[in-house]
Amino acid sequence: MKFFQKLSQIDRRWIYLLVALAVIVPLMARMGLPDAPGKYSLQLFDAVDRIPPRSQPVLISADYSPSMMPELHPMFMAMARHCLARKVRLMVMTLDPTGAGLAENGLRQITDEINARAGSAADSAVYGRDYVFLGYKPGTAIVMMSIGENIRQAYPADAYGTPLDSLPMMRDVRNYADIPLVNCIAGSAVLNYWIVYAGARYRARVGGGSTAVSSADYYPFLQSGQMVGLLNGMKGASDYEFLNQQRGYSSAPRVAGKGMDAVSIVHLLIMGFIVLGNVGYFVTKKSAQQKAGEE
């Protein structure tokens, strides 16, 4: 009884300290908790995995900013690694002005890794043949609808000013009918826009990744088949990194995977806090009622 009373008056800074320890210790100790990719992560991975190499390109829209990097940037890296390792052509664009730099740096890092390992020109990742970077375009819904008519309306040229028709892989790409999968990685409602405008209006197959905070909003679309798959926050990113390594597409260090031990331990800690808080609430309430009855 006294224990719960004391617990209800505890300085919140002790809780912060416990959360900090629950993050730092697993990160340093590398507990190696087992990975179990979620259903919707697997669906998205398989959707990319089924696209034939050197055929029509996948579109990734990197619609996130630096504030969402820990969750969303590893998704982008894992997805782009998967595509380029399988020689699935890749178009990268962004509807977030700060996403352009992140996506461009990520692409450069991945293509540098691939080209450093490549034994021949066929194995390397060549700009214009295997991937293009379209850059940032303002207008969200209007950009999505323009791509549905003709991608050249939204992007007459890539991010470096090269006309799309000059890029070999873009010559046969006209609209969503030529794009087997649209992946949006976003921490805002932009993914919803892709489902509405690209998915419903132009029948594009839409998948993507979102921050954990907004993921719950997209489960109805997964259930109704309006999305092919979803990466949910850091867990989704970790799933994709795990699948990439398991299927031999990447040996790069798992950035999100490293954080998952800490996520699991912090979740356990918070669940413990919730149970303790509720037990304490009911115990102190009962004792207060008993006291009132005695008086």
Partner 1 sequence: MFSHDIWVWIAAVLTLAIFSFLYKENPFYRFAEYLFVGMSAGYGLARVWNNALVPNFINPFWAALTAERGATGPLLADPRFWLIVPALLGLLYICRFIPSLSHLILVPIAIGLGLGSGMGLAAIIQTDIIKQMQSAIGDASNVAAGGWPLVWGIVSLVGVLTTLSYFFFSREHKGALKYSANIGIWFLMVGFGASFGNTVMGRVSLLIGRVQFLLTDWIHVIR
The residue ranges that bind partner 1 (CB under 8 A) are 13, 16, 19-20, 23-24, 27-28, 30, 67, 69-71, 97-98, 100, 136, 138, 141-142, 145, 195-197, 199-201, 211-213, 215-216, 220-221, 223-226, 232-235, 255, 258-259, 262-263, 266-267, 270
Smallest gap, in angstroms, from Cβ of residue 184 to partner 1? 14
Q: Which is nearer to partner 1, 51 or 270 (CB)?
A: 270
Q: Which is nearer to partner 1, 19 or 42 (CB)?
A: 19
Cα dihedral 48/52/54/55 (nearest 10): -90
Compute the distance between CA of residue 259 and CA of residue 24 in angstroms, rounded to an integer: 10
Smallest gap, in angstroms, from Cβ of residue 250 to partner 1? 17
Q: Which is nearer to partner 1, 2 or 30 (CB)?
A: 30
Smallest gap, in angstroms, from Cβ of residue 244 to partner 1? 19
Name the nearest CA neighbour of 260 among 27, 18, 14: 27
Name the nearest CA neighbour of 141 among 65, 231, 61, 221: 61
Q: Which is nearer to partner 1, 125 or 206 (CB)?
A: 206
**Contact call for residues 230 and 218 (beta carbons, < 8 A):** yes
Long-range Cβ contacts of 114-120 (<8 Å, 24+ apart): 114/84, 114/85
Tokens in use for 181?
């999968």
Compute the distance between CA of residue 103 and CA of residue 101 in angstroms, rounded to an integer: 6
Q: Which is nearer to partner 1, 89 or 137 (CB)?
A: 137
Smallest gap, in angstroms, from Cβ of residue 256 to partner 1? 8
Q: Which is nearer to partner 1, 24 or 288 (CB)?
A: 24
Smallest gap, in angstroms, from Cβ of residue 203 to partner 1? 11
Smallest gap, in angstroms, from Cβ of residue 101 to partner 1? 9
CA dihedral for 85, 90, 96, 102, sign (positive or negative): positive
